[in-house]
Amino acid sequence: MSNETRGIFRGTAEAEATRRAHEAALPTPSRPDRVTAAWLREVCLAAGADDVGFVEVDRAGLGAEGDNARRVFPAVRALVCLVGISNRDAIRSTSHATANNAWHHTGSRLDSAAAQLCARLGAAGIRAVPTTMGFPMDVQVPPGQSSWAIAHKIVAVEAGLGHMGVNRNVIHPRFGNFVLLETVLIDTEIDTYDQPLDYNPCLGCNLCVAACPVGAISTVADFDFFACLGHNYREFPFSAVDWVDAVAAGDASAYRAKFRDDETLSMLQSLLFEPTYKSAYCMAVCPAGEDVIGPYLADRARYRDEVLLPLRRHPEPIYVRSGSQAEKAAARNPAKRVRYLDFRPDVSTVANFALGLRHMFTPDTAPADGLRVAFRLPDGALLATVADRQLTTAPVDDLPVDATVACDAPDYIRILHRPTTGRAASVEVGQCTVTGDPTAFARLLACLD
């Protein structure tokens, strides 16, 4: 007789009873209450990790990470920190594609090692959960809860795998900071836990301070998290909201005032493959670690020439907020081109117009003899000066100008918009009245991109 209820197949009552009796007679799975660190280390290395350390979940030094571990896996008793070595010469390359490929490769390898480890531990009766090496994160979390599962750096330090250096990367005593980290949570205790190192591999050489294009690292101030987030993580989800806004606005000319074609391609690459770190030069230049330090100690000047200077001199856009310390740091390096995260291609204010001019200025196409163009706009006036292949914006002064551009259109920011077929097609430029040298305005527009 069928035992079916509400469309769910149940089989016959006899078959059901037989199955339930079988399940009740199954032996309780055996699981070890404790494993040896030596055995577990061997399993971790065999799974593909390059080094490993162990921390009990109740360790005070973990701070909030103990609670984070319990949130992810309530049965957790110990944290297993896995280390994966990255190709340091690839990370030192001025080719972002090369450096990012190295990180992504190590990330995949570490993810795979964690998955293999969990499978091997599962076969031994130990429940284990990998916590994601970096991304994705839990971006829709309740207020007050971190979006990351576990802060791996804190676990790594407690696991004796290094200390954070001036650059805020964990520096492994042997591999230096050329490592990625992953944490696996297990429901079993370990007979011996690791302890933090009693020294820091960081030399205090401050090469990382010199390398950071946004000045996020300082020996006298706190780490500038938002400067790092804005530039290095430009194409990661939490820093690309303005890109989504610009795309969603549906105005191609406005979009092209904010994003150059190469920036669009780079963003699409990050979306299609994996997000691209924009610098991480603080990691690239770090000479710390037994396997790394030799060339630095042998010849510091040569190390600086071969490792630091190519990155300092590499021409590239640097993403900052206007008025920030990061803007000042980026502007000090003539090889870098400052791009403004807070420029809004849809906002007609004098301040935003000035920001747009600076955002779009391309020194390579700037007139060698300089320019002074005044703008008279509905809500104020502005002077744009090009000198020594640099553009500055300031209030209008009493000195002569090459041209004065008057525009009373309320949406005058469209002067900066960049139609796909060239700026000359812009109707808004036609709404401007130019006095003085009419070619001066055209020459200014010609050096915006």
- Chain residues that interact with ligand SF4, rule: CB under 6 A: 165-167, 202-208, 285-286, 288
Closest by Cα among 239, 219, 240 to 229: 239
Asked whether the CA dihedral 245, 248, 254, 257 is positive or negative, the reply is positive
Comparison of 185 and 207: residue with beta carbon closer to ligand SF4: 207
Distance CA 406, CA 238 (A): 38
Comparison of 215 and 317: residue with beta carbon closer to ligand SF4: 215
Type of residue found at 135: F
From the CB of 303, what's the least distance to ligand SF4, in Å?
A: 11
Closest by Cα among 255, 430, 448 to 346: 255
Comparison of 142 and 204: residue with beta carbon closer to ligand SF4: 204
From the CB of 235, what's the least distance to ligand SF4, in Å?
A: 25
Q: CB nearest ligand SF4: which residue?
A: 165
Type of residue found at 259: F
Comparison of 307 and 386: residue with beta carbon closer to ligand SF4: 307
SS3 category, 296: helix
Comparison of 209 and 406: residue with beta carbon closer to ligand SF4: 209
Residue 375, burial from CB neighbour count under 10 angstroms (0-12, 13-18, 19+): buried
Comparison of 57 and 217: residue with beta carbon closer to ligand SF4: 217
From the CB of 324, what's the least distance to ligand SF4, in Å?
A: 22
Closest by Cα among 227, 322, 201 to 281: 227
Comparison of 170 and 440: residue with beta carbon closer to ligand SF4: 170
From the CB of 213, what's the least distance to ligand SF4, in Å?
A: 15
From the CB of 162, what's the least distance to ligand SF4, in Å?
A: 11
Comparison of 165 and 173: residue with beta carbon closer to ligand SF4: 165
Residue 299, burial from CB neighbour count under 10 angstroms (0-12, 13-18, 19+): exposed
Write the CB contacts of 10 (distance below 8 Å, at least 6 apart in sequence).
2, 3, 4, 16
Comparison of 167 and 348: residue with beta carbon closer to ligand SF4: 167
From the CB of 150, what's the least distance to ligand SF4, in Å?
A: 23
**How many residues in the chain?**
449
Distance CA 90, CA 98 (A): 6
Residue 140, burial from CB neighbour count under 10 angstroms (0-12, 13-18, 19+): exposed
SS3 category, 189: strand
Comparison of 37 and 203: residue with beta carbon closer to ligand SF4: 203
Comparison of 153 and 359: residue with beta carbon closer to ligand SF4: 153
Residue 217: both structure tokens together: 């690292």
The contacts found for 85-91 with CB under 8 angstroms, 24 or more apart, are 85/50, 85/175, 85/178, 85/179, 86/178, 86/179, 86/180, 87/178, 88/176, 88/178, 88/284, 88/292, 91/178, 91/280, 91/283, 91/284
Distance CA 262, CA 344 (A): 19
Please report the beta strands in 25-97, taking only residues with DSSP state E, as ranges in sequence order: 34-35, 51-56, 78-85
Comparison of 68 and 177: residue with beta carbon closer to ligand SF4: 177
From the CB of 196, what's the least distance to ligand SF4, in Å?
A: 17
From the CB of 202, what's the least distance to ligand SF4, in Å?
A: 3
Write the CB contacts of 290 (distance below 8 Å, at least 6 apart in sequence).
173, 174
From the CB of 88, what's the least distance to ligand SF4, in Å?
A: 12
Are the C-beta atoms of 320 and 216 separated by less than 8 Å?
no
From the CB of 286, what's the least distance to ligand SF4, in Å?
A: 3
From the CB of 296, what's the least distance to ligand SF4, in Å?
A: 9
Residue 391's DSSP bridge partners are 386
From the CB of 279, what's the least distance to ligand SF4, in Å?
A: 14
Distance CA 361, CA 445 (A): 9
